[in-house]
Amino acid sequence: MTVLRDARLVLPGGVRRGDLHIRDARIVPEPASPSVAGGSDTAPSEVIDLGGRYVVPGFVDMHVHGGAGASYQAGTAEDARRAAAFHLAAGTTTTIASLVTGDPRELADAVAALADLAADGVLAGVHLEGPYLARERCGAHDPALLRPPDLDEFRRLAELGRGHLRMITVAPELPGALDLVRAAGDAGVIAAVGHTEAPGAIARAAFDAGARVATHLFNAMRPLHHREGGPIAAALTDPRVTVELINDGVHVEPAVARLAFDAAGPGRVALITDAMAAAGMGDGDYRLGVMDVQVRGGRATLAGGSSIAGSTITMADGFRRAVTEVGLPIERAAEAAALTPARALGIDARVGSLEPGKDADLLVLDDDLTVSRVMKGGRWL
């Protein structure tokens, strides 16, 4: 058994100073008494005195396209493993690999390849961000590859995913979109509203049909207006909906991020990175799907244009900014970076918080909230 001694444990209800016990890759209750602790089956094999440093649950990123120069869109094990390993080292212990819009063959090949890695435990699933998106809000997606919702194509992709296709983003105003939302629910796939020009009534219809996530709130969607709230107001006021937030200071300014947290209330804002291959690589020229992207000063935009093309941050960056820039208590920032996305994905029984019985996925943070050590499944990286 491993004991993390004298830690500031960041729990859903607040911060508690104490010890954390880990056995067989899981968090276990603290022994009831010294006599029990001295038993041969519970005696610690490793005791680490953290001296009051923070311990937070491993981050859960439900929307990320790549990192370390690699993209999940490539559909190769080498690229996917490199991207996942980069984000794991930075504190993301659970990753959903996101794919941008592609042609039918490209998406099919990528989903099948990533499903293999999900089966191996490298990834926690696959997210299709498209191809059923609004041209007016396509962002960094190739408009020539966008198409109306196709139930046959979706079902083929879900079959290729072998249970690992976890989420699909759709613009609900497109013909057949609500049918696709329902089909996704029937297939055990989360439908998300995003890249949309939908008015509020249509967004609400999508949520009533079963959509449960708003993809990167505020970005690539009809803006909030006091006479037509659109998808933003519909998502923020629906207690069934988890809203994603890219907290990099580029996609959403801190004051607006705080507004989202205040409006949605506890447990409904999920921090995401939306990171592309440039994360961890610095400025340069990259690709996102078939689109050319330039990164300057850490800001990724389509080459020759101004459309933001994902981010270059890690979840650790977004989490830290939530505390230092947005002004959240550390326990609420940890909830947004771990428990809320885990709950949205339906995996919160295993990950997302430092509770007995859950996987020992956790991070040790220095006083400045930088990641000092990462544990995945009870093992230190």
Binding site annotation covers 30?
no
Binding site annotation covers 220?
yes
8-state DSSP, 338:
I
Binding site annotation covers 310?
yes
Binding site annotation covers 129?
yes
List the catalytic residue out of 274, 317, 348, 359.
274
Contact 214, 196 (CB under 8 A): no
Spatial separation of the C-alpha atoms in residues 60 and 92, rounded to whole Å? 6
Active site residue 274: yes
8-state DSSP, 143:
G
Spatial separation of the C-alpha atoms in residues 7 and 372, rounded to whole Å? 13
Binding site annotation covers 51?
no
Binding site annotation covers 251?
yes
Which residues, 6+ apart, have CB-to-CB distance to 91 below 8 Å? 58, 59, 314, 315, 316, 319, 363, 371, 374
Name the residue with tokens 């967004």: 203
Binding site annotation covers 70?
no
Contact 243, 225 (CB under 8 A): no
Binding site annotation covers 308?
yes
Tell me if residue 256 falls in helix, strand or coil.
helix
Binding site annotation covers 232?
no
Torsion 297-298-299-304 (CA) sign: positive
Q: Degrees (nearest 5) of the Cα angle 283, 289, 294?
A: 20
For the annotated binding site for Zn(2+), the residues are 129, 195, 216
Question: Which residues are part of the catalytic machinery?
Answer: 274
For the annotated binding site, the residues are 129, 140, 195, 216, 219-220, 227, 251, 308-310
